[in-house]
Amino acid sequence: MKLDAHTIAQSSAFMTQYGPSRRAVLLGLAACSALRPTTSSARSLCDEPASDNGPTFSQTGPRAEAFGIKEGFPVADPLLRGQPGEPLDMKYRVGAFSHFDDQYRTRRVARAAAPWCFAYAVTDVRYRYKGADQTIEDYLARHPVTGLLIAKDQTILQERYQYGRSDRDRLFSGSMAKSITGLLVGLAVADGSIRSADDAVQGYVPELQGTEYGKTALRDLLHMSSGVKFGEEANGDQDLDRLWGGMVLGHRSWIDRLLGRGGAQRSTIDTISAFTQRIAPAGTEFHYSSMEPAVLGLVVERATGRTLSDYLHEKVWSQIGTEADGAWLVNAQGSEVAWTFFGAALRDYARLGRLLAHDGKWEGRQIIPAQWMIEATTTRPSDRYLSPGVSGPQALGYGYLMWLLPGSGRQFVLLGGYGHRIFIDPTAKLIMVQTGVDGSIDQSDEPARLWAAVVSKFGR
């Protein structure tokens, strides 16, 4: 009925080859000041269940010394010198990934007025890996995971934390933020702020008139098939450096800044306009690119007249009973970084996953149009190049900034580097949320095997 364990496990090879690349962190630049004060402690508003039937917490985890346990999991990597970025030294990752909003300019995504609370029915989960039966304890002992949550609809089956993290921490999402940006596009289409996903970018951002991205349709950006050259797959992160340096930090050349040569300020429009080479017709080839959601974030902001954080709060975060504020990094011009650096409590990620598992419906109210959710998590016959299995029987597909799993049933995943992901099975209303601190998780097929076992056991 669903994805078999072998198929989903083998999909990790496609994640490794085509998934989010490592960010090249920029060094030696001026510090960012706080846009508004925030706190990384995400106050829980739901009644805590009894300790034997609720979350479990560990002060340690695999390779804990390398991740800074002896220093209390320090937060600020001095090599970043105040600049937002993914830590260069492993020992700062646990702290930085749960406290980035204490260090950098962020905007708050206010929690719901009243929380919607999960029930708990802690259940044993076992799976086969390398010829042996495995438990959740075995899984956590091998993988540097800060949080792991498995739920079936309104009931949490497992909720685990490592490295001293808890349900009160806001945890970094990595490229899962791209999928959130895609949802905001759908909401803007639904409320009429965006007329159609087939509209060109320049209709909403006149400054991009005549540029390659300006001439591209929103749907092609959602599919990461603009055809505009942006090297983020096999060619290193040079273009990602240009995007980060220009849009996030506002500098024309980060290397000029590093070498003390100054350099004029660069705007978001300048950064987007600088990518001028089209290497394929739009809508014909998939190329992973953080620029696509960056452009879409600007479109949503212009079309709605709202910040992404405020729009997310109004349309989603306040509607699904979130128990904690989210936080989103903002760039040099005060706009959200639409492709990364969103943070939320683990259970709030699970609430978002539950909303998507119900194809945009929450407790009888349609929050995101169901038709948009279907389009976002399937491929049209005309878009066969995006379908699961096209690049090989185990290859992932791609929807609207969401990864599509192969197999006979519809399943999809929000995916980020360092092990961040939300697996979703809308038929069985199953969700598995994971946050991590090391790319070794991305190289392993074990998370996919665990998910396949969850689907096999609870997908009825």
343's enclosing H/E stretch is strand 342-344
What local confidence, expressed as pLDDT, does residue 11 receive? 45
Residue with tokens 């997310």: 312
**How far is the CA of 200 from the CAs of 110, 190, 277, 282, 327, in angstroms?**
31, 17, 17, 11, 29
Query: Largest Cα–Cα distance of the chain, in whole Å?
Result: 62
Q: What is the residue-wise DSSP string for 224-288?
A: T---B----SSSTTHHHHHHIIIIIS-BS-HHHHHTT----B--HHHHHHT---B-S-TTS----
Enter the tokens of residue 322: 């979130």
Q: Which of 216, 240, 237, 236 is nearest to 228 (CA)?
A: 216
DSSP state of 143: S
Cβ–Cβ < 8 Å for 304, 185: no
Burial of residue 223 (CB within 10 Å: 0-12, 13-18, 19+) is buried
Question: What is the C-alpha separation between 120 and 141, in angstroms, rounded?
Answer: 23
Alpha helices (H) in 274-389, listed in sequence order: 291-304, 308-312, 346-357, 370-376
What local confidence, expressed as pLDDT, does residue 245 receive? 84
What local confidence, expressed as pLDDT, does residue 22 receive? 31
Question: What is the C-alpha separation between 440 and 378, in angstroms, rounded?
Answer: 29
Chain-centroid distance, C-alpha 59: 25
Single-letter code of the amino acid located at 202: Q
Cβ–Cβ < 8 Å for 106, 308: no
DSSP state of 74: -
Tens place of pLDDT per residue across the chain (460 aa): 334 444 444 444 334 433 433 332 222 212 222 232 333 444 455 766 555 688 999 999 999 999 999 999 999 988 887 788 889 899 999 999 999 999 999 999 999 999 999 999 999 999 999 999 999 999 999 999 999 999 999 999 999 999 999 999 999 999 999 999 999 999 999 999 999 999 999 999 999 999 999 999 999 999 999 999 998 765 556 888 888 888 888 765 444 455 554 444 557 899 999 999 999 999 999 999 999 999 999 999 999 999 999 999 999 999 999 999 999 999 988 999 999 999 999 999 999 999 999 999 999 999 999 999 999 999 999 999 999 988 776 799 999 999 999 988 999 999 999 999 999 999 999 999 999 999 888 889 999 999 999 999 999 7
